[in-house]
Amino acid sequence: MASDTSFPHTPTPGKLEEFLKKLQSVGVPPKIDQKYLGAVGFTSSSSRPFIPIMKKVQLIDPSGKPTDLYTRGLRGGEAGRTLVATGIRAGYENLFQVYSDAPDRPDTELAVFFKSHSDLDDKKVSLAVKTFKAVCKFGDFNSATGSAGSVDQGSEEDFNDQTSQIKSGPSRQHGSNGASSVVINVNIALSVDATSDAAVYDAFFAAMGKHLKGLVDGDA
């Protein structure tokens, strides 16, 4: 079985939420350690587990330095919530392999999983579940895609490339004579109320043809 540190937990999950919210509104420190916890008002010994919890979900690295998931995720507003979810999936990879919708699972089901994958007693299992649910509040799991693991920078680059192509306008294709031409695909969806009067449809298609002809003639 894994050791207790497989599921770091705090006796005060509510304080953990309070701490993570505070990190969203203060400057990014060079390192998060016990000294920093005290500096921002979390001096209780019950706050000490916050550090291993943040390491587990990749908000800080093993040395305590804030990661990209911290700067662009936790502090990235709604857009960053997907990144936070990615870190949580990575930290609790074995859990998400069993329950892909782990954040929405009943506490009782999560408790059974944590109990069977650790040496935690019932009280600590309950705290581990509450800790997991607390950090999950900062992630958007509906938008987070792919398997658990580190953030896929390649996916982000692909997205940026696709965005650049869209912004650059219509694509150009070269014919056999080397001349370039612009190809524009337009999809038009129109609807008309059902009626038994054929004249209505005739007028509808006549008007549509007139406007489409005008677009073609205007581009000629």
The mean per-residue pLDDT over the stretch 2-23 comes to 86
**pTM of the full structure:** 0.64
Nearest one of 134, 158, 18 to 84, comparing CA atoms: 134
Tokens of 209: 């043809």
The mean per-residue pLDDT over the stretch 46-61 comes to 96
The mean per-residue pLDDT over the stretch 44-59 comes to 95
Residue 115, pLDDT above cutoff 70: yes
Greater model confidence, 159 or 22? 22
Give the strand pairing for 180-182 and 172-174: antiparallel
